[in-house]
Structure 1
Amino acid sequence: MELEILYPPYCQVCGNPIPDCFADTFPCCAACRNRPDRDDPPVRVRAFGKYLFEEEFPDDVLSSEIRRLKTDETLVPQLLECLFYAIDHQYPDFREFDIVVPVMRGTGSGGYSPPALLAEGVASRYGMRYLDALYKSKVYRPMHSISDHLEKEKEIAGNVGCRYRFNGESVLLIDDTCITGATKRECAAVLRAHGAGEVWSLVLGRMVNRKHLEILGSYNG
């Protein structure tokens, strides 16, 4: 089974693939390069592999499994192996983080939460503390239903709460995908406002659409 693993070079902030020629001179994607918090972002995102939209790449195995994970808990063990690979081989510094936190559940209590199960597995494997610290403080539209990046950030702003007070600990934030990074940025801002130190996020799949791949191809030849 061939998986679309995310190899360098990628944006040092959001983890999006960038052209080879940008790696040394502009190690950020265009979106992050123009953000005022580029040099001190609330979170830096890293991914095991690429997440490709179903309508553009219907046969991509990793992306299909990530979508199935949202309703099929039996996929957790095999997708956890992807995160273990990422930590062991792609981002070994993540083993030194203090606390593992999943992105928030829905407004209800309990229930099936893929990020929570993934985070629990990572924490157990590497002997880190697990905290289900984040929650939705108000109902908002699903991020995947909003196409505009700025609109996503406005929709989620102020709607994530934290039930824990940190004391400067470093946090590894776990999610299944990163599409625009709006959710990760809001979660990280809330964690830092509640005393967390450095916040990085590890996801199974970083969204890369066909247009972006075509642009990479035009630069890389």
Structure 2
Amino acid sequence: MERIFIRSDDTGLEILYPPYCEICGNPIPDSFADTFPYCAACRNRPDRDDPPVRIRAFGKYLYENEFPGDTLSNEIRGLKTDQRFVPRLCECLYYAIERQYPDLRDLDVVIPVMRGSDDRAYNPSALLAEGVASRYGIPYLDVLYKSKVYRSLHSIHDHREKEKEIAGNVGCRYRFNGESVLLIDDTCITGATKRECATVLQAHGAGEVWSLVLGRLVNRKHLETLRNYNE
């Protein structure tokens, strides 16, 4: 597998190259890959062997103050206010499905994560999900919604607090009959939103849930830890 995807605009983007956590997609040290393929956060989760969702990412999402020049991360942030980023970012998801995670094409339905906490006129995740559904001929459903207003999870730093904040506050307006789901979002920071969405989807009859995101958060400290392990 290549480590760099050359997009149609000749931009080279680094993909999220293995090994990564089997549950949340977070990069893990090379030595973990064959013996214990989980990150520290997922290792002791009580649902580790049967998680509500498994998350996969095209590339890394990096904080602007740590890596201000990262193209993918800047485009993901730009997508929140500018729909012109949609075609080029959809290209990244197509590459992920066709080259990184081809099994995702076999899932039954594509669903976007619900609209965020801001007042923007569109849902970036829905635009990405529509592109994926159209390209691969997979049914598209926009059925998740916020059943109660909650704080933006990006403003909460503790992952346990994030999970408590969103718990019980996501609704679903569709009854499934065991269909497998490809849940689309722009980023994965801790996975709290994806886990809650998957729990709700399965409570409404969905089968297995996988999530594909453009960028998996990897901060500078984590990258340094990986380098130390791999040296």
TM interval, short-chain normalised = over 0.9
In structure 2, the partner of 1:195 is: 205
In structure 2, the partner of 1:18 is: 28
In structure 2, the partner of 1:208 is: 218
> 1:107, 1:137 within 8 Å by CA — same for their partners in 2?
no
In structure 2, the partner of 1:161 is: 171
Q: Distance in 1 between matches of 2:173 and 2:31?
A: 43
Pick aligned residue for 1:136 from 146, 150, 161: 146
In structure 2, the partner of 1:33 is: 43
Does 182-191 or 2-11 show the bigger shift? 2-11
Q: Would you say 1:89 and 2:99 are equivalent positions?
A: yes
Q: Distance in 1 between matches of 2:28 and 2:118?
A: 38
> 1:106, 1:135 within 8 Å by CA — same for their partners in 2?
no
Does 3-12 or 103-112 show the bigger shift? 103-112
Compared CA separation, residues 144 and 63, structure 1 to 2 (3 A) = same
> 2:116, 2:152 within 8 Å by CA — same for their partners in 1?
no
SS in 1 for 2:12: coil
**Aligned pairs, how many?**
221
Q: Distance in 2 between matches of 1:37 and 1:213?
A: 26
In structure 2, the partner of 1:121 is: 131
The aligned runs of 1:176-195 (5 Å cut-off) are 176-195=186-205
Compared CA separation, residues 25 and 107, structure 1 to 2 (3 A) = closer
Per-residue Cα deviation, 1:123-161 (whole angstroms, up to 9, x for no partner): 000000000010000100001000000000000000000
Name the amino acid aligned to 2:99.
H
Q: Distance in 2 between matches of 1:134 and 1:194?
A: 11
> 1:48, 1:82 within 8 Å by CA — same for their partners in 2?
yes
Q: Would you say 1:174 and 2:199 are equivalent positions?
A: no
Q: Give how far 1:5 is off.
A: 1.0
Q: Distance in 1 between matches of 2:63 and 2:176?
A: 36
Per the normalisation by structure 2, the TM-score is: 0.93
> 2:117, 2:150 within 8 Å by CA — same for their partners in 1?
no
Q: Distance in 1 between matches of 2:118 and 2:54?
A: 28
Compared CA separation, residues 218 and 153, structure 1 to 2 (3 A) = same
> 2:81, 2:120 within 8 Å by CA — same for their partners in 1?
no
SS in 1 for 2:49: coil
Q: Distance in 2 between matches of 1:110 and 1:26?
A: 41
Q: What is the alpha-carbon root mean square deviation over aligned residues?
A: 1.4
Compared CA separation, residues 6 and 106, structure 1 to 2 (3 A) = closer
Q: Distance in 2 between matches of 1:52 and 1:4?
A: 12
Name the amino acid aligned to 1:200.
W
SS in 1 for 2:186: strand
Q: What is the aligned-residue identity percentage? A: 79
Unaligned regions of 5+ residues in structure 2, if any? 1-10
SS in 2 for 1:129: coil
Q: Distance in 2 between matches of 1:140 and 1:2?
A: 37
Compared CA separation, residues 9 and 107, structure 1 to 2 (3 A) = closer
Q: Give how far 1:18 is off.
A: 0.2
Compared CA separation, residues 108 and 150, structure 1 to 2 (3 A) = closer
Q: Distance in 1 between matches of 2:197 and 2:118?
A: 18
Compared CA separation, residues 66 and 109, structure 1 to 2 (3 A) = closer
